[in-house]
Chains A and B, each alone.
Chain A
Amino acid sequence: MIRYHILICGGTKCENSDCKGVISALEDSIKHNGLENEIKLVETGCHGLCLSDPNSIIGSLGTVIVVYPDAVTYAKVAPGDIKEIVEEHFINNRPVKRLVYDEAINGENLFSLNETPFYKNQSRIALKSCGIIDPENIDEYIANDGYQALAKVLTEMEPGEVIKTIKDSGLRGRGGAGFLTGRKWEFAADQVSDKKYVCCNADEGDPGAFMDRSVLEGDPHSVVEAMAIAGYAIGADEGYIYIRAEYPIAVNRLEIAIKQAKELGLLGNDILGTGFNFDLNIRLGAGAFVCGEETALLTSLEGNRGEPRPRPPYPAIKGLFGQPTVLNNVETYANITQIILNGAEWFASMGTEKSKGTKVFALGGKITNTGLVEIPMGTTLRKVVEEIGGGVPNNKKFKAAQTGGPSGGCIPASLIDTPIDYENLSAVGSMMGSGGLIIMDEDTCMVDIARYFLDFTVDESCGKCVPCRIGTKRIYELLKKITSGLGEMEDLDKLEILCNHVQTASLCQLGQSAPNPILSTLKYFREEYIAHVKDKRCVAGICKNLLKYIILAEKCKGCTACIQVCPTGAITGEIRKAHIIDQEKCIKCGACEQKCRFAAIIRR
């Protein structure tokens, strides 16, 4: 009696040459087990499952066989699998689970994040193990080549070679300014001193940015290992990680990582028997944005109020406690082990002429896919917005992208083909910054955005220097005036002059870069400023003082729903007759607009 019918594709067009091998292996095995009378082999045409189209989402399914009566489908069957299928399934009646093809994995469905456009367009170096390994388990880090880079530099490389490798890779600081990391290390290495320090800037403070937090929460050992490598390169035996107290999970995982590394002897004295000593400490920052600036960070590390000091001397010459110090950002460190293991050329092969490697961005705002993305330098903004980000939701138009947070600027839609790297972003009046990337749609008011960022910098200015302390406040007041509908045309000129002064005269980058959000929006969206000033209009419908809620009489059904939600009793009208909003009483809360089912209430 035939127990099983086996359908196998014998299609001649099929390019899976394995099919023939599978068929003959099946025939042999059936014969060998004496199953000729129980199993019938049927050669069929194409099952339509073996997607050999290279553009298909899941790639080839290889040779497919279907076993009836249960229609168990095996995919990617190789001749070597036949013995197992025959013995397990046909004789013991246990389908071979590992080969079973679930309807799940067919071309129309995709089940793995790796196959989505969000993920496919990324290249992960700094985030290589983030989201894959258990960050609280050093064993898993070691299993994935962890501490191999440290072992390599300690046993095979002179400190000078390490610095040369980092220099040749072209790695630049990922904290914003983009200084060549290898050069920084070289300056510190060249100093003669019996005490040097390696520090890590994990004081990530830009609104909307969480790259460093994610690296520390997902792969803390990569930073620990890289700091030890930096220590070896410059001749330091001690390091500090300065991290915001607002990142409790990252702090906790770093503590665990350092403890585990010490227990295994990968931090401490005589690491791997090479005589190299290196120890790490964690210091918590209290959340002052200015402490992300390097001199302010070091001042805070020393136990003082976090305020910047003039440079030079640069930290590499005179840093923490007056000693030569290398201070790098978390993401910069996260690239180091990969550069050591794969070589400078490998890293330099990615990116653009002057910006090598990749950059991690925290993608947010009016975008379909919000998240953490790592892309090669030189990827266009269009690719990030449209492919990785999945476009702007709700059929709205892309208006601008904000990079660099309060220190950066807005890139307008007309420049969406700008390749993202240090040079190009500066050229369009923005900056790389630490990697916040906020997407804005047509409902975003650019003047209001500038006001928002200035509000932030006014709060965060440390107050040490006058241009930043008073200048940002005056800029903020002007912006507030414009968004309130009281602006005059001469305010725009005043803004520009003031911005230039603050930019050139401030002590540290906080003040120097604070005007960027205004200058870039003034450059690309000047007509929006003018509309606020001259026409007293906010096109995006954001600035409350400039907008009115109006009921369109022709659309209003007179249902009274808006009347019931209005908190100030500003709406009047009889049932089934068009209602009216009393502009004197209206506080522009928008409750009526949300409640109206007929789209009869609009902002103008």
Chain B
Amino acid sequence: MKIIKIKNIAELNAYKEKAKNKFAVKENGGMKIIVGMATCGIAAGAAPVLEILNEEIKSKKLENVSVAQAGCIGLCQYEPIVEVFESGKEKITYVKIDAKKAKEIVNSHIIGGRIVSNYTIGEAIKNL
């Protein structure tokens, strides 16, 4: 969004509404992917995952899918963590993701609608 000074509450609220629309997960199959990019995530290799996700989404022209970084998601030993949000659905948490797995998630889950269950948190807990 263009940078203009927010001069009063009305302008702040208008700005908020605009921002809300910008960040909302789009309906009808829209998705939002976030990558945990705090120190812990980056140390575990989250940066190349974020990069590959951005590239894939761009090259496959998935226009209603967005990719963003976030802070610490909280579960250190499962970093890098990638979460997929879809409107009206519970988010899906993928753990210990690398660039190759990230590509698979894009192809299977983001494009095909099939969760890659092997990489999810549930599977990781089972294999503890």
B6 touching A110, Cβ below 8 Å: no
11 contacts between A and B (CB under 8 A): A97-B113, A98-B28, A104-B92, A113-B93, A133-B70, A135-B69, A145-B16, A155-B9, A213-B38, A214-B72, A272-B7
Which B-chain residue is minimally distant from A261 (CB atoms)? Answer: B6
Q: Which residues of chain B are near A235, meaning CB under 8 Å?
A: none
Flag if B12 contacts A111 (CB, 8 Å): no
Inter-chain contact A139/B1, CB cutoff 8 Å: yes
Interface-side segment among A25-33, A263-271, A520-528: A263-271
Q: Which residue of A lies closest to B11 (CB)?
A: A272
B interface residues, how many (CB within 8 angstroms): 54
Please, how many angstroms separate the alpha-carbon atoms of A586 and B49 in the complex?
46
Chain B neighbourhood of A105, CB < 8 A: 90, 115
Stretch from B55-63, B96-104, B116-124 forming part of the interface with A? B116-124
Please name the residue on chain B nearest to A115 by beta carbon: B90
Nearest-neighbor residue (CB-CB) of B85 within chain A: A132
A441 contacts the other chain (Cβ, under 8 Å)? Answer: no
Find out whether the CB atom of A142 lies under 8 angstroms from the CB atom of B3. Answer: no
B115 near A113 (CB under 8 angstroms)? no
The 8 A-B pairs at the shortest CB distance, nearest first, are namely A218-B71, A104-B115, A265-B5, A143-B19, A131-B73, A113-B93, A110-B122, A214-B72
Cβ-defined contact, A109 with B123, below 8 A: yes
CA distance A151 to B13 in the complex (A): 10
Docked Cα-Cα span, A279 to B48, in Å, equals 36
Given A105-B115, A265-B6 in contact, is the A119-B74 Cβ separation under 8 Å?
yes
The reply to whether the CB of A114 lies closer than 8 angstroms to some CB of chain B is yes
Q: List the count of A-B residue pairs having beta carbons below 8 Å apart.
A: 170
Interface, chain B (partner A; CB < 8 A): 1, 3-9, 12, 15-16, 19-20, 22-23, 27-29, 34, 36, 38-40, 42, 68-77, 81, 83, 86-93, 113-115, 117, 120-123, 125, 128
Q: Identify the A interface with B (CB < 8 A).
A: 58, 97-98, 100, 102-105, 109-116, 118-119, 127, 130-137, 139-140, 142-143, 145-148, 151, 155, 210, 213-215, 217-219, 247, 249-250, 263-266, 272-273, 364, 368-373, 390, 393
Cβ contact within 8 Å between B77 and A370: yes
Closest to B90 in A: A112
- The contact of B71 among A112, A217, A393, by CB within 8 Å, is A217
Q: Contact between B90 and A114 (Cβ–Cβ < 8 Å)?
A: yes
Residues of A within 8 A of B7 (CB): 265, 272-273
Residues from chain B with Cβ under 8 Å of A111 in the complex: 90, 92-93, 115, 117, 120-122
Please tell me if the beta carbons of B92 and A151 are within 8 angstroms of each other in the complex. Answer: no
Whole-angstrom CA separation of A214 from B76 in the bound complex:
11
Query: CB distance A104 to B117 under 8 Å?
Result: yes
Residues of chain B with a CB closer than 8 A to A213's CB: 38-39
Q: A118-B75, A217-B71, A272-B9 are in contact. Are A247 and B39 (CB under 8 A)?
A: yes
Q: Are A113 and B121 in contact (CB under 8 A)?
A: yes
CB distance from B109 to the nearest CB of A (A): 9
In whole angstroms, how far apart are the Cα atoms of A104 and B38 in the complex? 28
Chain B: CB-nearest residue to A263: B3
Bound together, the chains give a CA A36 to CA B27 distance in angstroms of 31
Within 8 Å by CB of B29, from A97, A103, A210, A247, lies A97
Give Cα distance in the complex from A103 to B115, angstroms.
8
